[in-house]
C-alpha cells in the first residue's frame, strides 16, 4: 500500500511472543478503508494472535496499532466501539436463545439501536430460530449468530476470523454477498481465512502472513497477475521430455506424481497461452490428459509460506482439456 | 446500568440459579418437615423437645436463618465461581472486551447482579423455610403463636442484611477464585476445598482461621441479640474463638473488597486467549 492511503487499520512492527515462542515478529499491515481484506496464512502463522491484538484481548510486546485513523493501545477501548469482531469460534451463553444472546451482547460496548437485533437476525437468516437455545444450534448457525454479533454496532471496521467455518454453501454465498455489500457502502472488512478460493472471489486486497511476518500484501489483481500459470497433466513416462520442451516456452516445474502414473507440470506463463502449450507438446509427440490455466492464489500462498503446491487440489482453475 | 440489568437477566434465566436455590430451599424444607414428622414419633421427651425447636416460633426464625446462611455460604461460593468461571469458559468475556467494554466495569457489574440474586435467593429460601416450619409445626401439633413475635420480627431485617452481606462476601471468594482459574469447574472445586479446608483448619489453627473469610462471615452474625445466628465454618461454634461481630463485619468487607480487587486486577492484566 502506498503511504498516504486512507487506512482503516495499520500495524507497524507489531510483535508478540508467548514465552519463548514468537507469534508475531514485526507485523506491518496496511488495510485501506472500504475494502474486503483477505488475511491469509498457514496454521500457527499468527492470524488469530493478530486478531486478538486488534481487539484488545492481548497486549503487544512492542509495535503499534492504528484503528480507524487513531492509535490503539491499552486504555483506548472506546476505539473498539466502531469495530465489530468475530474471533475464533463464536461464543455465547448456551442456555439463552439466539435473540437473548444478541440482546445481552448489545448491553456491552457501544449503544445499539433498539431494532438492530431483529434486523440482524433477519440478515443472517436466524429469525425463525431466534427463540431456540443456542446450545441446540449447529456450528453454522452459531457462526451466523457470531457474524450478527459482530455487526451489532454497525461497525466501520469488521474483523472476522474464519467466518465461513461451518457455513453451508448457501450460507457462504450469503455471507460473501453481505461482506461485499458492506465494503461497497464504505465499511472495511478484514477477513482471515484458510479458504483461498473464498478469499480469491471475495477480497479486494490480500495480505499473506507466515511465521509472524507479512510476506506479501497487495491488491488481488496485482497478486494474481504475478501468478499466472498453465498446468498440464501427462503420463509419468513423458514428464522429463515434456519438461524439456515446455521450459523452452517458460519456466516449468514438475509436481510430485500423485497416483504413480501421471504427473502435473506447471508452466509459468499467461493463462491465455494454454492452447499454445498444448500445441507445443503435441508437436513433440506428447499428449496431455488434462490442461488447466488460471491465476492461482493457492500457488502463491504455498510459495510464500513454504508449502508444497498440489495441482488440481483446489478449484481455482479453469479446466481446458479432458481431465485425466 | 445496561450491564447490570443484562447481568440480572442472564442470571434469572440461568439453570445454576434455579439449581442452587432449589437445593438450598429444598434441603431446608425437607429437613424441617422430616424433623417435625420424626419428632412426633420420638419416645424420648428430651429428644423430641430438641427436634421441635426447629418448628417452634419465634426461635424457628433464627434457626432457619442460621441454616440458610450456613449452607448458603457454601452454595454462594459455588454460585460465584460458576458465574465468573463461565465468562472465561464460554468466551463471553472475550465478546464484551472485543466490543470495547471495560473489563473492570463488566466484572463489577456482573458481580453486582450476583449480589442481588443472592439477596433474592436468601429471601425465597427464608420464606420457604418459614412455610415448611409452619407445616412442620402443624404436623407436630406445636402452636405457632410465636410467629408474630414483634421483638424477633423487628430484629430480623438487620440480621438478614448482615447475613446477606456475609454470603455475598463468600460469593465473591468463589468469583475471585474462578477468575484466577479462568474456569467454572476449577473455581467451584477450589472454592469448595477452601470452604472445607477452613473448617478443618480451625481445629488446629483457630487463632488464624478466625480471620479467614468463612469464619468472619459467620462471626459477623453473632450480634449477641437473642438467638443470633452463627456456628458455621470457623464461626461461633462451641469452644471456637471468634471475633466480635462488628470487627468481623469490617473484615467481611475487607475480604469482599479484596476478592473483587484480585478479580479486577487479574482480569485487567489478563491476556484473553480462550
8 Å CB contact of B99 and A152: yes
Mean pLDDT of B2-28: 94
**Mutate which of B7, B95, B184, B268 to disrupt the A interface (most A C-beta within 10 Å)?**
B95
pLDDT at B21 over 90: yes
Q: Which residue of B has its CA nearest to A149?
A: B95
Q: Which of B4, B10, B99, B105 to mutate to test the interface with A (most CBs of A within 10 A)?
A: B99
A17, A46, A78, A104, best to mutate vs chain B, most B CBs in 10 Å: A104
Q: How far apart are CA A192 and CA A301, in angstroms?
A: 14
A92 near B CB under 8 A: yes
- C-alpha grid cell for residue A235? 503420463
Q: What residues of chain B lie within 8 A of the CB of A152, using their CB?
A: 99
Contact check, Cβ <8 Å, A95/B14: yes
3-state secondary structure of A166: coil
Buried b / exposed e over B59-87, threshold 16 CB at 10 Å, is: bbbbbbbbbbbbbbbbbbbbbbbbbbbbb
Q: Name B171's bridge partners.
A: none
Q: What is the pLDDT of residue B124?
A: 96
- Average of per-residue pLDDT across B186-209: 88
Q: What is the pLDDT of residue B237?
A: 46
Asked if A32 and A68 count as a contact pair (C-beta separation under 8 A), the reply is: no
8 Å CB contact of A91 and B96: no
For residues A143 and A90, is the Cβ–Cβ distance under 8 A?
A: yes
Comparison of pLDDT for A14 and B70, the residue scoring more: A14
Q: What pLDDT score was predicted for residue B231?
A: 46
Check A57 against B272: CB less than 8 A apart.
yes
Task: Name the residue among A58, A92, A152 with its Cβ closest to that of B271.
Answer: A58
Neighbours of B247 (CB within 10 A): 15
* Pick from B30, B113, B104: nearest CA to B79: B113
Please tell me the pTM assigned to this model.
0.83
Helices (H), chain B: 2-12, 15-39, 45-52, 59-89, 92-98, 103-140, 150-181, 184-201, 206-209, 213-219, 245-269
Per-residue pLDDT tens digits for B87-129: 999 999 999 999 999 999 999 999 999 999 999 999 999 999 9
Cβ of B6 within 8 Å of Cβ of A107? The answer is yes
Say which of A55, A96, A104 has its CB closest to residue B98.
Answer: A55
Confidence of residue B61 (pLDDT cuts 50, 70, 90): very high
Q: In this complex, do B3 and A58 lie within 8 Å of one another by their Cβ atoms?
A: no
List the one residue out of B84, B112, B108 whose CA is nearest residue B180: B84
H or E stretch at A56: none
For B154-182, write each residue's pLDDT tens digit: 999 999 999 999 999 999 999 999 999 99
Kindly tell me if the per-residue pLDDT of B206 is higher than 70. Answer: yes
Among chain B residues, CA nearest to A84: B99
Band (B234; pLDDT cuts 50, 70, 90): very low
| Residues across chain A | 324
Spell out which residues of chain A touch residue B5, defining contact as CB-CB under 8 Å: 107
Phi, psi of A91 (to 5 degrees): -120, 130
| Percent share of chain B, pLDDT over 70 | 92
Regions of chain A where pLDDT drops below 50: 1-4, 308-324
- Work out the minimum CA distance from B18 to partner chain A, whole angstroms: 13
- Mean pLDDT over B22-39 rounds to 91
The more confidently predicted of residues A42 and B30 is B30
pLDDT at B233 over 60: no
Minimal C-alpha gap between B92 and chain A (Å):
6
pLDDT at B179 (0 to 100): 95
Q: In A, which residues are within 8 Å of B96 by CB distance? A: 105, 108-109
CB contact under 8 Å between A91 and B94, yes or no, is yes
The ipTM assigned to this model is 0.86
Per the model's pLDDT, the better-predicted residue between B120 and B208 turns out to be B120
Instruction: Write the DSSP symbol of residue A189.
Output: E
Chain pair A-B, CB pairs under 8 angstroms: 86
Q: What is the pLDDT of residue A267?
A: 87
Distance, in Å, from the CA atom of B178 to the CA atom of B175, rounded to the nearest integer, reads 5
| Chain B residues within 8 angstroms (CB to CB) of chain A | 2-3, 5-6, 9-10, 13-15, 86, 90-92, 94-102, 106, 271-273
Q: Do B273 and A57 touch (CB under 8 A)?
A: yes
Amino acid at each position: 500500500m502506498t503511504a498516504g492511503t486512507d487506512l482503516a487499520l495499520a500495524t507497524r512492527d507489531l510483535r508478540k511472543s508467548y514465552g519463548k515462542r514468537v507469534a508475531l515478529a514485526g507485523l506491518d499491515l496496511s488495510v485501506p478503508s472500504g475494502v474486503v481484506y483477505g488475511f491469509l496464512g498457514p496454521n500457527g502463522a499468527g492470524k488469530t494472535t493478530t486478531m486478538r491484538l486488534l481487539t484488545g484481548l492481548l497486549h503487544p510486546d512492542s509495535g503499534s496499532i492504528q484503528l480507524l485513523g487513531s492509535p490503539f493501545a491499552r486504555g483506548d477501548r472506546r476505539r473498539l466501539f466502531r469495530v465489530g469482531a468475530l474471533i475464533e469460534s463464536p461464543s455465547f451463553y448456551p442456555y439463552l436463545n439466539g435473540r437473548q444472546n444478541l440482546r445481552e451482547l448489545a448491553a456491552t460496548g457501544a449503544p445499539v439501536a433498539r431494532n438492530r437485533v431483529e434486523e440482524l437476525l433477519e440478515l443472517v437468516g436466524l429469525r425463525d430460530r431466534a427463540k431456540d437455545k443456542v446450545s441446540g444450534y449447529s456450528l453454522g448457525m452459531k457462526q451466523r449468530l457470531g457474524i450478527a454479533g459482530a455487526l451489532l454496532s454497525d461497525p466501520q471496521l469488521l474483523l472476522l476470523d474464519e467466518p465461513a467455518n461451518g457455513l453451508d454453501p448457501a450460507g457462504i454465498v450469503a455471507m460473501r454477498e453481505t461482506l461485499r455489500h458492506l465494503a461497497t457502502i464504505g465499511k472495511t472488512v478484514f477477513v482471515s481465512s484458510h479458504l483461498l478460493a473464498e478469499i480469491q472471489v471475495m477480497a479486494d486486497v490480500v495480505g499473506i502472513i507466515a511465521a509472524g511476518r507479512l510476506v506479501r500484501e497487495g491488491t488481488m489483481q496485482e497478486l494474481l497477475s504475478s501468478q499466472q500459470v498453465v498446468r498440464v497433466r501427462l503420463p509419468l513416462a513423458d514428464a522429463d521430455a515434456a519438461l524439456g520442451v515446455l521450459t523452452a516456452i517458460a519456466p516449468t516445474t514438475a509436481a510430485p506424481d500423485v497416483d504413480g502414473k501421471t504427473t502435473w507440470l506447471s508452466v509459468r506463463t499467461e493463462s491465455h497461452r494454454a492452447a499454445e502449450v498444448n500445441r507445443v507438446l503435441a508437436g513433440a509427440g506428447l499428449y496431455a490428459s488434462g490442461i488447466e490455466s488460471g491465476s492461482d492464489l493457492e500457488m502463491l500462498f504455498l510459495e510464500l509460506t513454504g508449502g508444497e503446491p498440489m495441482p488440481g487440489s483446489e478449484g481455482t482453475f479453469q479446466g481446458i482439456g479432458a481431465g485425466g | 446500568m445496561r450491564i447490570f440489568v443484562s447481568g440480572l437477566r442472564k442470571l434469572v434465566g440461568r439453570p445454576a440459579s434455579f439449581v442452587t436455590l432449589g437445593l438450598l430451599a429444598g434441603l431446608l424444607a425437607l429437613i424441617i418437615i422430616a424433623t417435625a414428622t420424626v419428632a412426633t414419633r420420638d419416645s424420648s421427651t428430651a429428644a423430641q423437645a430438641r427436634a421441635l425447636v426447629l418448628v417452634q416460633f419465634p426461635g424457628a426464625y433464627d434457626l432457619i436463618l442460621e441454616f440458610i446462611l450456613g449452607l448458603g455460604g457454601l452454595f454462594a461460593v459455588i454460585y460465584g465461581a460458576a458465574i465468573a468461571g463461565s465468562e472465561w469458559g464460554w468466551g463471553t468475556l472475550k465478546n464484551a472486551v472485543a466490543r470495547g467494554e471495560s473489563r473492570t466495569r463488566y466484572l463489577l457489574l456482573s458481580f453486582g447482579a450476583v449480589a442481588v440474586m443472592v439477596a433474592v435467593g436468601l429471601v425465597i429460601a427464608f420464606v420457604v423455610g418459614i412455610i415448611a416450619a409452619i407445616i412442620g409445626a402443624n404436623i407436630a401439633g406445636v402452636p405457632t403463636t410465636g410467629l408474630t413475635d414483634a421483638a424477633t420480627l423487628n430484629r430480623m431485617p438487620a440480621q438478614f442484611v448482615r447475613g446477606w452481606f456475609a454470603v455475598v462476601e463468600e460469593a465473591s471468594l468463589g468469583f475471585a477464585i474462578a477468575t484466577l482459574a479462568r474456569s467454572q469447574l476449577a473455581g467451584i472445586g477450589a472454592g469448595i476445598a477452601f470452604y472445607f479446608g477452613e473448617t478443618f483448619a480451625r481445629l488446629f489453627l483457630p487463632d488464624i482461621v478466625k480471620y479467614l473469610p468463612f469464619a468472619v462471615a459467620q462471626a459477623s452474625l453473632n450480634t449477641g441479640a437473642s438467638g443470633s445466628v452463627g456456628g458455621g465454618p470457623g464461626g461461633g461454634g462451641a469452644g471456637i474463638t471468634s471475633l466480635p461481630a462488628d470487627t468481623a463485619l469490617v473484615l467481611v468487607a475487607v475480604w469482599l473488597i479484596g476478592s473483587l480487587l484480585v478479580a479486577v486486577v487479574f482480569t485487567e492484566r489478563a491476556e484473553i486467549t480462550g
